[in-house]
Structure 1
Amino acid sequence: MDFKLPFIFALAFSLICAIGFGLIGLIISDEKITNFDQTVISFIQSFEHPTITRIMKVFTFIGGGVPVGIITVISVLFLYKVLNHRMELVLLIGVTIGSAMINTVLKEIYHRSRPVIHRIIEETGFSYPSGHSMAAFSLYGVLAFLLWRHIKTSLGRTLLIIISSLMILLIGVSRIYLGVHYPTDVLGGFLASGSWLTIAIWFYQWFQEKRWERKRPGQ
């Protein structure tokens, strides 16, 4: 059975994510949030080890612009050549490009500087929300949605959700571990993408239903 996203649920979830993102944006300069961010960063970086650092650098690389673009292209080719789906390509490309555009706009709005506690790597640009976190949530979230309908077994679907969730989580954590984002940057990125992805999926399903209604005999 294909996953269906009811309008009320989609609207409610998208609004909750958007409100959560907005609330974080309002209090990112508050001292309590700053202390929270610094405490979480210190805890995560307390596990610093050369091997862990190499692993985190791999995940942060995977969440970057070029790898995300490559993964998107490979996914597009797979959906088109192997599964012969075209409308799914529009959703995949639209979600990934839209996420990048939204992130750019939001960074310019909030102008939050990056943390300076302990940077393992160097990054430029503003901090809130995390672009890597937004890209990961959007890409692996939409891939999980699109591949779900092509996987028929419960085990396969469970593995799909676990792998997608781990990729999203580890890319987000890698940004905190490497010292280039606050935890609230990562959380804000997840919430922003959650809002965008939910609406995009609902609109895609609504459009698909309208197409089938027009093609239905007797209509």
Structure 2
Amino acid sequence: MKNSLKHYKNASYIALAFVILGYVVKFYPAYLTGFDSAIQTAIRGDLPAMASQFWTSITVLGNVIPLFSLVFVLAVFFYWKSWKAETCLLVGSLFLMMGASTALKFLYQRPRPTIEWVISTIGYSFPSWHTAATMLVAGVLTIVLYQRCQSKFWRYFGQILVIGLAILVAISRIYIGVHFPTDIIGGWLLALLLLLGLYPTYDRYRFIWRFQSKQK
């Protein structure tokens, strides 16, 4: 219970940070212009061809079909291993994030950046769906690796790999021009909020189901 309260308290801090950022995005977007523009300029440069090819390849990892295909394969693998709580956390958190992200986009209705886009897209800008989704999946895998992987080397390697890929996807969204850096921060906050908020329930059922021999 003590650890659960700690997670919920941290989740409330993240929620507050998201609300504050969202409030500024909605009512005082001009205050964010300098911050966003400086980071956009630093990351995009003059859009060199090799960099554009790299970042357009990376950003695809966060698209719906590749990401959902990965989640489907992982969910099947987890279930086959009798990791039912892990399966529920992976699939449930992703679908919850989808609903929350969609609702928040319509709530804030932030237009996309007006700079040149390398790849076109549709919809509102804040928070970044690609960023939230990839970081959420990476966060779930980080938890699973921590709890399931016996080898420290492969555990740390896997955690660094999935978090690193999620960060690269987030940067790619800035490079291709479809998101402000503050959209990326919003996506990370949303993913962290969901992970912290759902972890106590996941951990409790993981313990109960293992005690009841419903999972390994």
User: d(CA) in 2 for partners of 1:63 and 1:125?
Assistant: 16
Aligned to 1:37: 36
Compute the TM-score of the two structures, normalised by the length of structure 2. 0.91
User: d(CA) in 2 for partners of 1:89 and 1:32?
Assistant: 41
Q: Is 1:169 paired with 2:167?
A: yes
Deviations 1:114-171 (A, max 9, x none): 0012211111100000000110111111122123222112212211221121111101
The answer on whether the counterparts of 1:148 and 1:160 sit within 8 Å (CA) in structure 2 is: no
**Aligned-pair distance for 1:8?**
2.8
State the superposition RMSD in angstroms.
1.9
User: d(CA) in 2 for partners of 1:185 and 1:207?
Assistant: 33
Aligned to 1:135: 133
Aligned to 2:22: 25
The answer on whether the counterparts of 2:132 and 2:191 sit within 8 Å (CA) in structure 1 is: yes
- Amino acid in structure 2 at the alignment position of 1:19: L
**Aligned-pair distance for 1:55?**
1.5
- Amino acid in structure 2 at the alignment position of 1:38: S
Which moved further from structure 2: 23-32 or 188-197?
23-32
Compute the TM-score of the two structures, normalised by the length of structure 1. 0.90
- Amino acid in structure 1 at the alignment position of 2:36: D
The answer on whether the counterparts of 1:80 and 1:89 sit within 8 Å (CA) in structure 2 is: yes
Q: Is 1:71 paired with 2:70?
A: yes
Structure 2: gaps spanning 5 or more residues: none
- Amino acid in structure 2 at the alignment position of 1:43: A
More helix by share: 2
**Aligned-pair distance for 1:31?**
2.0
Aligned residues: 211
- Amino acid in structure 1 at the alignment position of 2:24: I
Which moved further from structure 2: 141-150 or 123-132?
141-150
The answer on whether the counterparts of 2:141 and 2:159 sit within 8 Å (CA) in structure 1 is: no
The answer on whether the counterparts of 2:145 and 2:159 sit within 8 Å (CA) in structure 1 is: no
Q: Is 1:188 paired with 2:208?
A: no
Q: 3-state SS of the aligned residue for 1:152?
A: coil
Structure 1: gaps spanning 5 or more residues: none
Aligned to 2:58: 59
**Aligned-pair distance for 1:50?**
1.6
Aligned-residue sequence identity (percent) comes to 25
Q: Is 1:10 paired with 2:7?
A: yes
Which moved further from structure 2: 156-165 or 124-133?
156-165
User: d(CA) in 2 for partners of 1:164 and 1:17?
Assistant: 22
User: d(CA) in 2 for partners of 1:13 and 1:168?
Assistant: 22
**Aligned-pair distance for 1:176?**
0.2
Which moved further from structure 2: 41-50 or 187-196?
41-50
The answer on whether the counterparts of 1:79 and 1:86 sit within 8 Å (CA) in structure 2 is: yes
Aligned to 2:98: 100
The answer on whether the counterparts of 2:85 and 2:205 sit within 8 Å (CA) in structure 1 is: no
